[in-house]
A and B are shown apart, each in its own frame.
Chain A
Amino acid sequence: MDQKRRKLLQAIGGTGVMAAAQPWMSAPAFAQNTPVRVGIIAPKAGIAGTIGECGLRGTQFAVDHINATGGIAGRKIELLIEEETNPKDSIERLRKLVLQDKVDCVQGIVSSGVSLAMGPVAEDMKALVIFWDGTTQDGVKETMPSKRYVFCSTDNECEAVMGSLLAIKHWKGQFKTVAGINPDYSYGRNNFAAFQALLKKYNVEHQVVADQWPKVGTTDLNSHVAALKAAKPDLVFSSLLFADLPIFMRTAHGAGLMDGKTKFVFPAAGFQHTALKKSFTPPGMIFGHNTLYFDYAKGSDLQKQFVKWYHDKFNDYPNWEADRAFFAMAVYKAGVEAAHKAKGGWPGKEDIISAMEGVKVQSLGGPGQMRKDHIAEQTFYQGITTHDNKYDFPTLGTVDVMYSDQLQKGTGQDFWKWIETANIKL
């Protein structure tokens, strides 16, 4: 009995050694017949729930599109979806996806709080992770300058930089007193600071007469609006972006803050664009739609196809999170296929990562690429709003388009020094 068992084990062991010694004999067949497993971690609840949902729809569109056109180097994509919550639990879900579900790649993450914590863990696990909207910046400072396995979105401040530039371009000389109402965490604080730094850079004389910092989730903004009104600013800069933005708009409109000549800059309004109804959102404001402006007349056929699919399926219009999700999948596909072509067979993780560095893709919102330092470059859309459209919410009357190499610091640069020295065309 013991001898029989030993022989059986030897036979199994021998087969294993042979397979290990000659991976080319079985690996390609295995690769072609099994799907590429992609894990997604996205918020489904809470203040970022709708944003996560939009991202998931962008992923679904990307996967349907890729699978219908031959998959990634011949292999279809299989999605495994987990929920993004707090950093600790989200990291546990990353571990599950990588260790238990054995996914080839993980994508997702909207909150920078989560991505900041998840980055080092992913590096430690050697897990290939592409963040949709998350960075590894602590405020504006990069915490992982030489990451290998983690790929990040564009810097959070891109939209603030673009909104500030447009305010200067369109309204320089028309405002002196400025006020801010921004969310009370590093995103809001950095955005308002970036706005002021750019005003200084372009010699725009100004005086900050009020700065309001409502906590995320505040539902009564009457006192904040009263404080803004009391300060009588010529221009209000606000990077509110969650459900508090429509509340602010409604409250400000009700209190008459929008009746005068005050100008408004909302670099992140695109997250809530369909909730900002015309009845309480006057035209003539600067709105940021980040990397996807759904109504862009010069948008690609891909974008138009997506917007139609989205509207037909969900009776809604997408925000930029859909583009971030699509971009992540497109970068992964491009990386795998480039490595596959170079190797002449299914590539390993290290080959894919190397191929993703510098890869250029066409995302929903336009061209983009993954920098060699694993930070994305994408196309941004902002402009001045109009009511002259078929919707019940404002759209952009004039659309400004900028590529993010004009909006974010270069590899290893300090953000504030970059603002001072960057040669940005207005």
Chain B
Amino acid sequence: MTALLDILIGGVFHAAVLFLVAAGLQLVFGVQKIVNLACGSFYALGAYFGITAVSWCLAHGMPPGLFLPVLVVAGLAIGLIGPFIEALLLTVYHRDEAFQLLLTFALVLMFQDILRFFWGADPQQLGDLVMTYGRVKMGAVQVPTYNLLVIVASIAIAVGLGAFLKKTRYGRILRATAENREMSLALGVNVRWMYASVFTLGTILGTVGGALVVPTAAASLDMPVELVVEAFAVVVIGGLGSMRGAMVGALIVGLMRAAAISWYSELEMLAIYLVVIVVLIARPGGLFGKPLE
């Protein structure tokens, strides 16, 4: 039972991280119909910037216990590059999907060099800061409190995002724009602004995710690709454009990975993509996506 709980917590933690990246991907695709490969780069950017912000604050006398709010603020702040990146995408909004993929892939490569330029090629870490909040003990199971905070933060963001999209005026307009862009335009919706704000929100989800997870891991140049590979599995399983799908997809991928690692670690990726293939065959639109015609 203890072993199962350990594996479960490991899987849920990974799912929480994946959700934040996949949610940004889903949001942008849902509204703008752009498959944004650069979502992993935003995640890495958040991680690097988070390390810099926390290191700077610690060097200037900040008590270590305050590193969590600093990471959140750092993730939010660097996420504000969203509108500038979105301006680049203007050129491909009405072009073939291949152009969109090429442009966002170019962004991945460019960001890799930007990260290398500012932070160097060596992986960056925050030492033992993650243990500042101690550990939670549940019988024989021990989890760093910080890991549980990341899971809680991810759930809170999922709930908050859901409520924001469903209950607020902005959310309703956003969903309407996602459903029918032309009709929204005809009704006077500022679609241009809507696109910029949605893309920024998607970027912030990625950068905050990266900043939150970095104390438990390391910021490295390989992060974007590593995450995107799994984030796309989440999206395919959950259904492209569905926020609920992102949540369920992230949970499935996180738990499948944890189970595979526990029982046969070589099959980590195979296990995940086996689910992807099953979903693609049985329900091509994903578990919560619109059925394909």
Contacts and interface: CB of A to CB of B under 8 A. Distances in A.
Contact of B257 (A45, A223, A256): A223
23 contacts: A45-B116, A45-B221, A46-B221, A47-B123, A49-B120, A49-B121, A184-B266, A219-B226, A220-B13, A222-B14, A222-B147, A224-B265, A226-B6, A227-B7, A230-B3, A246-B125, A253-B131, A254-B142, A254-B216, A256-B142, A275-B125, A279-B127, A280-B131
Given A212-B261, A212-B265, A223 B144 contact: no
Q: When A and B form their complex, which 3 residue pairs have the shortest distance between CB atoms, in order from nearest?
A: A230-B3, A45-B121, A256-B142
A254 B220 contact: no
Interface string B11-27: 10110010000000000
A46 to B, nearest CB: 6
A226 B258 contact: yes
B128 A226 contact: no
Contacts of B123: 47, 219, 242-243
B89 to A, nearest CB: 28
B128 A279 contact: yes
Contacts of B131: 250, 253-254, 279-280
Given A46-B221, A213-B266, A275-B125, A256 B216 contact: no
Nearest to A218: B226
B130 interface: yes
Contacts of B122: 49-50, 243
A223 B11 contact: yes
A229 B127 contact: no
A211 B142 contact: no
A225 B10 contact: yes
Contacts of B182: none
Interface in A263-281: 275, 277, 279-280
Interface string A141-160: 00000000000000000000
Contact of A254 (B120, B130, B261): B130
Given A212-B265, A217-B222, A223-B258, A247 B121 contact: no
A251 B216 contact: yes
- Which of B130, B261, B266 has the most CB atoms of chain A within a 10 A radius of its CB? B261
A67 B51 CA distance: 41
A80 interface: no
Interface of B: 2-4, 6-7, 9-11, 13-14, 17, 116, 120-123, 125, 127-128, 130-131, 135, 137, 140-144, 147, 213, 216-218, 220-223, 226, 257-258, 261-262, 265-266
A173 B289 CA distance: 57
A286 to B, nearest CB: 22
B226 A247 contact: no
B217 A219 contact: yes
A126 B218 CA distance: 42
A280 B131 CA distance: 9
- Which of A47, A211, A226, A277 has the most CB atoms of chain B within a 10 A radius of its CB? A226
- Which of A213, A218, A223, A275 has the most CB atoms of chain B within a 10 A radius of its CB? A223
Contacts of B258: 222-223, 226
Contacts of A247: 125, 217-218
- Which of B125, B142, B143, B218 has the most CB atoms of chain A within a 10 A radius of its CB? B218
B7 A254 contact: no
A224 to B, nearest CB: 6
A220 B216 CA distance: 8
Contact of A222 (B13, B125, B141, B221): B13
Contact of B220 (A229, A230, A243): A243
Contacts of A227: 7, 261-262, 265
B127 A277 contact: yes
- Which of B9, B121, B135 has the most CB atoms of chain A within a 10 A radius of its CB? B121
A184 B261 CA distance: 13
A220 B217 contact: yes
Contacts of A304: none
B10 A223 contact: yes
B218 A243 contact: yes
A254 B136 CA distance: 9
A103 to B, nearest CB: 25
B6 A255 contact: yes
B268 to A, nearest CB: 8
Nearest to B137: A256
A26 to B, nearest CB: 45
Contacts of B121: 44-46, 49
Contacts of A214: 265
A50 to B, nearest CB: 5
Contacts of A220: 13-14, 17, 213, 216-217
